Amino acid sequence: DNTVPFWTVPIYGIIGPMIIMTSIYIKRRNIYDLHHAILVAITAVLTDAIKDGVGRPRPDFFWRCFPDGVPAYDNFTTGVLCHGKASDIKEGHKSFPSGHTSLSFAGLGFLSWYLAGKIKVFDRRGHVAKLCIIFLPLLGAALVAVSRVDDYRHHWQDVCTGGVLGLVVASLCYLQFFPLPSDENGMLHTSFRVTRKTPLS
């Protein structure tokens, strides 16, 4: 069984961050904060495309192919004769990268970026508690990644690649609309930033 069922991924990867950002919106009334996290959904498209393109077998593929534990091969072609459930065999070729991991790091990674800007983590005032707050979502995503290897559903390379993929998408989505958290106006959407035009010399 899956330690983390797939149906829970959208809950903590997308819905959870959206609830937190909506709560911040209610307090700050910044309408631009409400819709950007959904951009991490493109992670799902990228992940599925790579899964179908690579077709790497899962660690438990042997048991998907031979549920009774007895391997069978074609005597002429030496090809494998899987006699397991067709849907299980098809799903068994989708190990790389880990969808659980990529979606977790995309949603929760975006949330870490978002919180870092809103609570001004990098204001150099030495608030260690703020660092703990932004690392909590990443810790949750990491635990999901570890569970996928522990459940024997993915190889370690699958979850590492999924984590990198999710973080890259989260970072691109965040930086497309928000300045770096270390910026003086890091808590504001880019549309609120005022730029001064200097006269031509």
Instruction: Kindly state the helix (H) or strand (E) to which residue 25 belongs, with its residue range.
Output: helix 16-28
pLDDT at 89: 87
CB-CB neighbours of 69 under 10 Å = 7
SS3 (DSSP) at 61: helix
- pLDDT digit string, tens, across residues 113-172: 888 888 888 777 767 788 888 899 999 999 999 999 998 899 999 999 999 999 999 898
83 is catalytic: no
SS3 (DSSP) at 177: helix
User: Which of the residues 35, 127, 154, 189 is marked catalytic?
Assistant: 154
User: Which of the residues 35, 100, 127, 189 is marked catalytic?
Assistant: 100
The number of CA neighbours under 13 Å toward the Cβ of 119 is 20
Angle in degrees, CA 128, 134, 138, rounded to 5? 125
Q: Indicate the pLDDT class of residue 182, thresholds 50, 70 and 90.
A: confident
- pLDDT digit string, tens, across residues 40-84: 678 888 888 998 899 899 998 888 889 888 888 888 887 888 888
SS3 (DSSP) at 197: coil
36 is catalytic: no
pTM of the model: 0.77
Instruction: Kindly state the helix (H) or strand (E) to which residue 123 belongs, with its residue range.
Output: none
Q: What are phi and psi of 80, to 5 degrees?
A: -75, 135
- pLDDT digit string, tens, across residues 89-101: 888 898 999 989 9
Q: Cβ(39)–Cβ(107) under 8 Å?
A: no
Is the four-CA dihedral 115, 110, 41, 104 of positive or negative sign?
negative
